[in-house]
Amino acid sequence: MAEPIRVVVTGAAGQIAYSLLYIIAKGEVFGHDQPLILHLLDIPPMMSVLEGVVMELADCAFPLLREVVATAEPEVAFKDVSSAFLVGAMPRKQGMERRDLLAANVKIFKVQGEALDKYAKKDVKVLVVGNPANTNALICAKYAPSIPKENFTAMTRLDQNRAQAQIAAKIGIPVANVSNVIIWGNHSSTQFPDASHATAEVGELRSLYKKL
């Protein structure tokens, strides 16, 4: 069997990470023959919750899960990781201005980018989930200059799925038949769904785009 890889998940005590961790630990992400060591990062006030997550992972006795490292320290969380799922981010609260949200997330993703740059493997693959995902990915990549920019991905799949679903509903076909929908801009009011290159079983959708 292969050597274990180290995988970090941030915001690991949150609901999204709670679902994600079990998918990773079961081998659904990296393969059923790839052992792994999970690094779980969250803020100090969430450590008691995170301890509960660690116990639940132990209860499952996943054959591929060799070790779980729960920590509030970025230097521990990002040490020698091959993959990083950056789920944790500051949520937008009622009455919060977008600039305040961005300022809070700059601090979070600056620290994580620096930790990736200093402690992670240089071929680490990084998936940014926390919104605004594109901006957060840009910040993280900026502070991890030794890691190739193509190794950073921002997960805006929800927006793409919504665009595909609307196109499919408009022309009355299954959503699986729609492809090549592009989402430009950030996860915000600046976003622009682009169907000008979209295709389906019925053919090119360029002529339909103006009607959407």
| 96-129 tens-digit pLDDT | 776 777 888 899 999 999 999 999 999 999 999 9
Quote the DSSP letter at residue 179. Answer: B
Query: Strand 5-10's sheet: what is its strand order?
Result: 65-71, 36-41, 5-10, 83-86, 125-128, 152-154
Is residue 187 part of the annotated active site? The answer reads: yes
What single-letter DSSP state applies at residue 126?
A: E
Domain formed by 5-154, architecture: 3-Layer(aba) Sandwich (3.40)
Give the number of other CB atoms < 10 A from CB of residue 36: 24
For the stretch 28-65, pLDDT in tens is 999 999 999 999 999 999 999 999 999 999 999 999 99
pLDDT of residue 92: 74
pLDDT digits (tens, 9 = 90+) for 64-74: 999 999 999 99
Q: What is the domain partition of the chain in residue ranges?
A: 5-154, 157-209
pLDDT band at residue 204 under the 50/70/90 scheme:
low
CB 181 within 8 A of CB 152: no
Q: Of the residues 32, 39, 187, 197, which is catalytic?
A: 187
Q: What pTM was computed for the model?
A: 0.86
DSSP 201: T
**Do residues 25 and 35 make contact, with C-beta atoms less than 8 angstroms apart?**
no
What pLDDT is attached to residue 125? 99
What tokens does 7 get? 């995988």
